[in-house]
Amino acid sequence: MTEKLDEILNEVREIKSWLYGSDGHTGDIPEIKKMLCSYGRRIRILEIVVAGLVVSGGGTLGIIKLLG
């Protein structure tokens, strides 16, 4: 039983070293954070564009109803 626990602990330490690096700063985490930040910016721009289309579409429908 302790052999399995030691094996699991070693795997967790290995994953931690991949993510955070051996010194705790140069692993994959900083790269992942940069990638998520750029996706967040893209999503925000997309939300603004969609909201603008909805507002302009609603305004157009309102004008058509008033004229019709």
The per-residue pLDDT for range 44-64, each reduced to its tens digit, is: 878 888 888 888 877 777 777
pLDDT of residue 25: 66
Report d(CA 22, CA 39) in Å as an integer.
Answer: 27
27 in Cβ contact with 19 (< 8 Å): yes
pLDDT of residue 24: 64
Give me the residue spans of the domains in the chain.
2-67
18 in Cβ contact with 28 (< 8 Å): yes
Residue 17: band (very low, low, confident or very high) from pLDDT cuts 50, 70, 90 = confident
